Amino acid sequence: MKLTGEMLIGARAVRGSQGVLRAMNPATGADLEPAFGGGSAADVDAACLLAEVAFDAYRAVSLESRARFLEAIAQGIVDLGEVLVERVMAESGLPRGRVEGERGRTVGQLRLFASLAREGRWLSATVDRAQPDRKPAPRADLRAQKIPLGPVAVFGASNFPLAFSVAGGDTASALAAGCTVVAKSHPSHLGTSELVGRVIQKAVADCRLPEGVFSLVLGEGNSIGEALVRHPAIQAVGFTGSRRGGNALVAIAASRDVPIPVYAEMSSINPVFLLPAALAQRAETIAHGLIDSVTLGTGQFCTKPGVVIGIAGADFDRFRAAAKANVEAKAATTMLNSGIHRAYCQGASDLGRDSGVEALSTGGVSAEGSYAGQPMLFATTARHFMESSKLLEEVFGPAGLLIECSNTKELIAVAKHLNGQLTATLHMANQDIELAQELLPLLERKSGRILINGFPTGVEVGYAMVHGGPSPSTSDSRVTSVGAMSIERFLRPVCYQDFPTELLPEALQDSNPLHLWRLIEGKLQQQ
């Protein structure tokens, strides 16, 4: 498939007329062909109007057709083969193994949502039959199911060019829910976005769906994204990126005549607590695993452990020495783009200049190119950490901060001081149970996923995964952006009172033509 540098608006390919954008290879600094034409507010309007026109027809197609559509997208991505892998590598600097792994995750995710769409449990079909003879007042016939919200805007993430971009988790869950999608390319992977966008566009045509089910827009600066979120047809937004970008979109969405939800996944420092007995037993092993996790993918994961909290003493000293040595042994590797590299260097330099923070060690400089991120390890005291709000901010890249507490009381105070997080981790042994019991209620209130004796990078896409958490890790702690439950973001319940069978949605008819598991008179049953 040859790239053209066009947007995809419904069934058409449209060359934007507002400036020229190019992706860049962060490993070499070289611009990549082709040049992309930047879109305008009129292009956004055209895409959103098509999405609105297509919405009722798309949500009415059978669950089986929706599932086949998602499977067609998955197969189309596989069929792109090397062309896609090479373009992702060129645009992101990510190594082949990571890109192939991410492609597998993306395809698996689409297939998971296909099976979810087919099975229909997310409709939450619920039936309370009429009780005309109930005293003192009769009960009406009440039936409820979930329906899709409407057209959804999806912002591709820089750090997951496939799994959280044009056909990533947000798009897959929105399409499975019955929403139409207008995606915005991340400026770093314009070519990857076009390749994947064309696969979706073809799947729409092959599955004989209305053309407005999917569009892909792009443009210079923030104006395209702003126009998208402001557009009256858009009913929800999926976003992964910076805290500043996410908060800007939340503010725009809240200021609309009809405000809409923005599901923004933004920033997290993913605290790791080292409890005393665990540290005594395996300080060096934990240090090894931790630094692998901090530096994995050049630290460009939202679940990268950014702060590590332990209690001062000989075991913490052993841990620190091992972590320091592990960082020194790590190479610097290419970051995703020049902006992320610049932000990382700035964040690390701010830490280095903080008089309460000690720079412990730095990884090797590589000859990979100008945008290589050097692994770094810093240390501070619990007291300084709690006095400096800047240290609560994410440094996106391969840096970690060790926080030394003088006792367990201070360790608990640090836990209380933390902001909302995607993850929190405890390293513990049996003798640490009491301290763990004290920490867990605090950490439940702060984070979306709690791990014991593991590392938070590597987010499984399954039924029980929660990739979310209180602000600022996301803009809405009630939902997850990864896994089967993420479909809930794009649904809302509707109750149908005293409907004749012929007007009821199939999911709520007495004969249960979809063979769904339904809540009937408060009991889950398949009848």
Closer of 146 and 184 to ligand NAP (Cβ): 184
354 is a contact residue toward ligand NAP (CB under 6 A):
no
Q: What is the CA radius of gyration of the chain?
A: 25
> Going residue by residue from 483 to 522, which x/- string records binding to ligand NAP, judged by CB under 6 A?
----------------------------------------
Return the exposure string of 384-412: e unless at least 16 CB atoms fall within 10 Å of the residue's CB, then b: bbbeeeebbbbbbbbbbbbbbbeeeebbb
Counting Cα atoms < 13 Å in the Cβ hemisphere of 162 gives 27
* Nearest distance, CB of residue 241 and ligand NAP, angstroms: 3
**Distance of alpha carbon 112 from alpha carbon 196, whole angstroms:** 18
**Distance of alpha carbon 520 from alpha carbon 527, whole angstroms:** 9
41 is a contact residue toward ligand NAP (CB under 6 A):
no
Closer of 68 and 304 to ligand NAP (Cβ): 304
Closer of 123 and 227 to ligand NAP (Cβ): 227
> Whose CA is closest to 162, among 110, 213, 113, 212?
110
- Interacting span for ligand NAP (CB under 6 A) from 34-42, 54-62, 335-343, 376-384: 335-343
> Going residue by residue from 176 to 205, which x/- string records binding to ligand NAP, judged by CB under 6 A?
--------x-xx------------------
Task: Answer yes or no: are the C-beta atoms of 140 and 130 closer than 8 Å.
Answer: yes
Residue of 52, 194, 265, 368 marked active site: 265
Residues in binding contact with ligand NAP, number by CB under 6 A = 25
* Nearest distance, CB of residue 114 and ligand NAP, angstroms: 26
Tell me the residue ranges of DSSP E strands in 296-346.
Answer: 307-311, 333-334
Told to judge if 444 belongs to the known catalytic residues of this protein, a careful annotator would answer no
* Location of structure tokens 């910076």: 242
Task: Answer yes or no: are the C-beta atoms of 508 and 159 closer than 8 Å.
Answer: no
Q: Which of 88, 234, 262, 340 binds ligand NAP (CB under 6 A)?
A: 340
Looking at residues 290 to 319 of the shown chain, list those that interact with ligand NAP (rule: CB under 6 A): 302
Residue of 302, 368, 404, 410 marked active site: 302
Return the exposure string of 454-477: e unless at least 16 CB atoms fall within 10 Å of the residue's CB, then b: ebbbebebeeebbbbbbbbbbbbb
Q: Which of 92, 201, 240, 381 binds ligand NAP (CB under 6 A)?
A: 240
Told to judge if 265 belongs to the known catalytic residues of this protein, a careful annotator would answer yes
Pairing verdict, β 262-265 and 236-240: parallel
- Interacting span for ligand NAP (CB under 6 A) from 83-91, 264-272, 274-282, 512-520: 264-272
Pairing verdict, β 372-373 and 357-362: unpaired
Closer of 264 and 411 to ligand NAP (Cβ): 264
Closer of 362 and 474 to ligand NAP (Cβ): 474
* Nearest distance, CB of residue 249 and ligand NAP, angstroms: 6
Closer of 109 and 158 to ligand NAP (Cβ): 158
Number of CB atoms found within 10 A of residue 433's CB: 12
Closer of 222 and 255 to ligand NAP (Cβ): 222
> Whose CA is closest to 382, among 273, 299, 510, 473?
273
Q: Which of 245, 313, 454, 505 binds ligand NAP (CB under 6 A)?
A: 245
**Distance of alpha carbon 214 from alpha carbon 316, whole angstroms:** 53
Which residues are catalytically annotated?
A: 265, 302
Q: Which residues bind ligand NAP (CB under 6 A)?
A: 155, 157-159, 184, 186-187, 221-222, 225-226, 240-242, 245, 248-249, 265-267, 302, 339-340, 343, 396
